[in-house]
Structure 1
Amino acid sequence: MFNPSDQQAQELLLQTMVQDLAARLLMEFEKWALSAESSGTILKTPLDSQSRLSSEEVIKAKKRRLARAQKTIGDYCLLAGSPVDANAHFATAIELARLTGDLFWHAGALEGSVCALMVDRMDEKDSLVEEEVKFRYYSVIQLYRRSQLQDNAQRQGIVKEAVDLLMHASDGANSLIDVSDHLVLYVEIARLFGTIGYEHKAAFFSRQVAQLYMQQDNVQSAISAMQVLTLTAKAYHYPKSGQKPGA
């Protein structure tokens, strides 16, 4: 027992109780995270595919699961005020993420280790610690840049696949007999090309739409054709030599 009037003893007791509670919560969370079924613990970020994963992506996600779980546990250790435990989990996450090539989570775990180091040494002024922090953050920045390049490369591959599919769909237009079906197909192809940033292809198929409208002998179709051509005019505009675009 302790003297109720002893404020220092009360603070020590409360601190011990909170730390004990945090430790128990972390232990339970760690057991759940590491023993849960892999299908339920595929941790994703906005950089990961948000659609249904392919079989190859599922295999990759399972390999990366443990590193991401360790990084997440490290985050909770930091929130619970235990930088030593956090650093241990971050160190494990860093090694596992390096082995699986999970650049974004590798960078996050390394950044977490910097935070754990700073919290653990917050009362110290050590030039060696400062240099270590600078070195780690330089590595963090490089990893984030590499993860962005990796993501851009993946996106480019997806866009190329989309372009191939759209061009294949346009080839199938020859088998359509009804002009209305042609219109619907070309409108959708033009819209999708515009969505992925292929303005010239979008303009080309929009002109195809306009030509189909012109084949219909009525005023409304002619007006629609002119509207479509007006929308595509900008994409077909090329500046003269020495002239800035839009001038």
Structure 2
Amino acid sequence: MEPDGSIESASVIRVVVLQVGEITASAFRSYSNLIMKHRVMPLQGVFGYYKEHQKSPFSHQPWSSGSLRFNFILGGSSRSPWQEFVAQRKIHGVIGVCHCPRMPDIAAAYEEFVLACKAYPLAQVKRCIAFDPNTEQLAEEDPQRRNLVILSGADQQRLEALLVSVMHDFAACVLMALESWVLHVDPIAAIFLSPLDNPNVTPNEDAAKLKKKRLARHPEAIGDYCLLAGSPLDARSHYARHRARPPHQQRRPLWLAGALEGHVSTLAVEKGRWDEDLEEEIRTKYSEIVPLYRKAGAMIFELEALIKVARFICRKEMARDVVDLLAQAVETGRGLQNPSDLLVLYIEVCAHIPAAGVRAQGSLLHAPGGQAVRAAGVKIRRCQRAAGAGPGVLVLQGAVPRALPQPGVSSPGAHISQ
């Protein structure tokens, strides 16, 4: 189970940020903070670095109003078993951070970066950014190291200005990589599988059936990439194609739920702000999505869907509904076997209680399902120990776990502060 999910998570591009060579924790944190300022990049700024090598498959790209959204994962990330089901769970880019004063041999640092990138074979865009070089290191720039960027900003302001250019170029390359995937993917040969699919399919077992399954899943995959590319209108048309297929062709509950959830994300991204009509539509769609995930046996996605809706409506006047959703998540989550998943679930549940205005123990206990939600807080420490988390991961003495907000659409209620 993944933390910090939001209604628009499907539109967020994952990029890992790695330490390259010797670098202090404070220096890595400082440089990473500069990179993370670019979590939302307007397409208008990216356009100057974009090169259309062939006609874009995103015919409704909102260049003047859209954005690319990024989730920069510090220190690396493991491969998600669900990455073929949801494109958002793939790692699409890698950024290396090198501190030149502690790593005088830039060539060696770059080789280390190239080696580290092999852990992310699906990442199409890679950049190794070398900060604070001296004169000799600047002279080491080599055209053959095409993914190496040496930034020589004399002061913070100059450095940030240079990094803006680097990040816009990075975003443009990611966009072009998404375009290339959509243009060249073979719906027959592509692997559109999830952990719930039968892995023991023999080569000659219903080849026609396998072909139909892949063709049916192809529109949803294209929709996912359109959404990542910042084109919700294109994404919605592909999700609609998936849902419009005859029942005998595509009515797999997992993939139907995925297409519905992608559709909801397009609404949130396109609207860009909360309103009552959007909230009503989101709640209606998720009332279909949650049972579909349950029917498919995808408990992780069922739980994440419940948390996303609770987060979206999280404000005082909706406290009863929020606690109901959280209690449902806690009850469903009893079937989780992985301690790390349980830990994430309980942290997410407890993080939303105060934001909904359910602060006093009495009001929580008297809310529907309140006892189950309150019990989640008690279980967090147990899950921390089982998952091997250190005591510094979370402070529970009088404090509430805090979820990091995703960029974009927000509910009118209180946010959970960082």
Bin of the TM-score, shorter chain as denominator length: 0.3 to 0.5
Instruction: Kindly indicate whether structure 1 or structure 2 has the higher relative contact order, using CA contacts under 8 Å at least 6 residues apart.
Output: 2
Larger radius of gyration: 1
Higher helix share: 1
TM normalised by structure 1 equals 0.47
Which has the larger strand fraction? 2
